[in-house]
Amino acid sequence: MRLSRSFGKTLREAPAEAELISHQLLLRGDFIRPAGAGIYTFMPFGYRVIRKIWDIMAEEMDAISGQEMWMPNLHPAALWQATGRWNQVDVLYKLKASGNREYALSATHEEIVVDLSLRDIESYRDLPRMIYHISKKFRDEPRPRGGLIRLREFIMKDAYTLDRSEEALDEYYPSMLQAYTNIFDRCGVPTVMINADVGAMGGKSSQEFTVPHPQGEDEFIYCEDCGYAANVEAAGFVREGEKPATMDELSKVLTPDCKTIADVAAFIGVPTTQTLKCVFYWWRPNYVEKPGEGRMVFAMTRGDLNINDTKLVNAVGGGFIRQATEEEVRSIGAVPGYASAIGMTPAKDMESPGVMIVADESINYGGNYVVGANDDPYHYTGANYGRDFQVSRIADIAQAATGHKCPNCGGRIEAKRAIEVGHCFKLGTRYSKAVNATYLDEDGQERLIYMGSYGIGLDRLMAVVVELHHDKDGIIWPDSVAPYQVHLVHIGKDGDGTKEKAEAVYAELTAVGVEVLYDDRDGLGAGVKFKDADLMGIPWRVTVSGRSLEQGGAEVKRRSESERQIVSLDQLVATFRS
Question: 316 to 355, contacts with RNA by CB under 7 A?
Answer: 320, 322-323
Please identify, among the stretches 41-49, 144-152, 431-439, 568-576, the one whose residues bind RNA according to the rule CB under 7 A.
144-152
Buried b (16+ CB within 10 A) or exposed e, 193-221: bbbbbbbbbbbeebbbbbbebeebebbbb
Q: What part of residues 484-513 is at the interface with RNA (CB under 7 A)?
A: 491-494
Q: What part of residues 351-410 is at the interface with RNA (CB under 7 A)?
A: none
Question: Minimum Å distance from CB 37 to RNA?
Answer: 3
Instruction: At 504, give phi and psi (nearest 5°).
Output: -65, -40
Residue nearer to RNA on the CB measure, 425 or 506:
425
Interface residue with RNA among 31, 42, 132, 154 (CB under 7 A) is 154
Angle at 57 between CA 93 and CA 83, to 5 degrees: 35
Binding status of residue 137 toward RNA by CB under 7 A? yes
Residue nearer to RNA on the CB measure, 13 or 443:
13
**What is 407-465 written as a DSSP string?**
TTTS-BEEEEEEEEEEEEEEEETHHHHHHT-EEE-TTS-EEEPEEEEEEEEHHHHHHHH
Instruction: At 552, give phi and psi (nearest 5°).
Output: 115, 10
Q: What part of residues 201-260 is at the interface with RNA (CB under 7 A)?
A: 201-202, 215, 217
Interface residue with RNA among 51, 405, 447, 547 (CB under 7 A) is 547
Binding status of residue 430 toward RNA by CB under 7 A? no
Sign for the pseudo-dihedral over CA of 323, 329, 332, 336: positive
Binding status of residue 1 toward RNA by CB under 7 A? no
Residue nearer to RNA on the CB measure, 444 or 527:
527
Residue nearer to RNA on the CB measure, 51 or 531:
531
Angle at 300 between CA 295 and CA 303, to 5 degrees: 150
Query: Residue 198 and residue 216: Cα distance in Å, rounded?
Result: 19
Question: Minimum Å distance from CB 398 to RNA?
Answer: 14
CA distances from 204 to 310, 319, 407, 422, 425 (A): 15, 16, 20, 17, 8
Binding status of residue 121 toward RNA by CB under 7 A? no
**Residue 393's closest CA among 359, 419, 364?**
359
Interface residue with RNA among 58, 200, 395, 401 (CB under 7 A) is 200
Binding status of residue 425 toward RNA by CB under 7 A? yes
Question: Minimum Å distance from CB 522 to RNA?
Answer: 8
Please identify, among the stretches 42-50, 153-161, 180-188, 262-270, the one whose residues bind RNA according to the rule CB under 7 A.
153-161
Binding status of residue 546 toward RNA by CB under 7 A? yes
Please identify, among the stretches 111-119, 178-186, 511-519, 542-550, the one whose residues bind RNA according to the rule CB under 7 A.
542-550
One-letter amino acid identity for 362?
Answer: S
Residue nearer to RNA on the CB measure, 361 or 555:
555
Q: What part of residues 10-29 is at the interface with RNA (CB under 7 A)?
A: 10-17, 19-20, 28
Look at residue 343 and give its three-state secondary structure: coil
Say how many residues make up the chain. 578
Please identify, among the stretches 67-75, 133-141, 240-248, 350-358, the one whose residues bind RNA according to the rule CB under 7 A.
133-141
Instruction: At 368, give phi and psi (nearest 5°).
Output: 50, 45
Question: Minimum Å distance from CB 299 to RNA?
Answer: 11
Q: What part of residues 257-286 is at the interface with RNA (CB under 7 A)?
A: none
Question: Minimum Å distance from CB 171 to RNA?
Answer: 23
Interface residue with RNA among 48, 52, 277, 423 (CB under 7 A) is 423
Binding status of residue 457 toward RNA by CB under 7 A? yes
Query: Residue 234 and residue 315: Cα distance in Å, rounded?
Result: 12
Binding status of residue 527 toward RNA by CB under 7 A? yes
Please identify, among the stretches 154-162, 261-269, 294-302, 355-363, the one whose residues bind RNA according to the rule CB under 7 A.
154-162
Give how many residues touch RNA by CB under 7 A. Answer: 75
Q: What part of residues 49-78 is at the interface with RNA (CB under 7 A)?
A: none
CA distances from 42 to 390, 405, 464 (A): 57, 45, 16
Interaction pattern, residues 158-197, with RNA; x per rule: CB under 7 A: x---------------------------------------
Residue nearer to RNA on the CB measure, 268 or 569:
569
CA distances from 197 to 88, 193, 194, 201, 313 (A): 17, 13, 10, 9, 11
Residue nearer to RNA on the CB measure, 131 or 535:
535
Binding status of residue 528 toward RNA by CB under 7 A? yes
Give the Cβ contact number of residue 429 at 10 Å. Answer: 18
Binding status of residue 38 toward RNA by CB under 7 A? yes
Residue nearer to RNA on the CB measure, 146 or 366:
146
Helices 44-63 + 458-468 axis angle, to 10:
110
Give the Cβ contact number of residue 332 at 10 Å. Answer: 19
CB 360 within 8 A of CB 398: yes
Query: Residue 255 and residue 312: Cα distance in Å, rounded?
Result: 29
Query: Residue 220 and residue 222: Cα distance in Å, rounded?
Result: 7
Binding status of residue 144 toward RNA by CB under 7 A? yes
Q: What part of residues 283-302 is at the interface with RNA (CB under 7 A)?
A: none
**Strand (E) positions, 294-400?**
295-302, 320-323, 356-360, 369-375, 378-383, 393-395
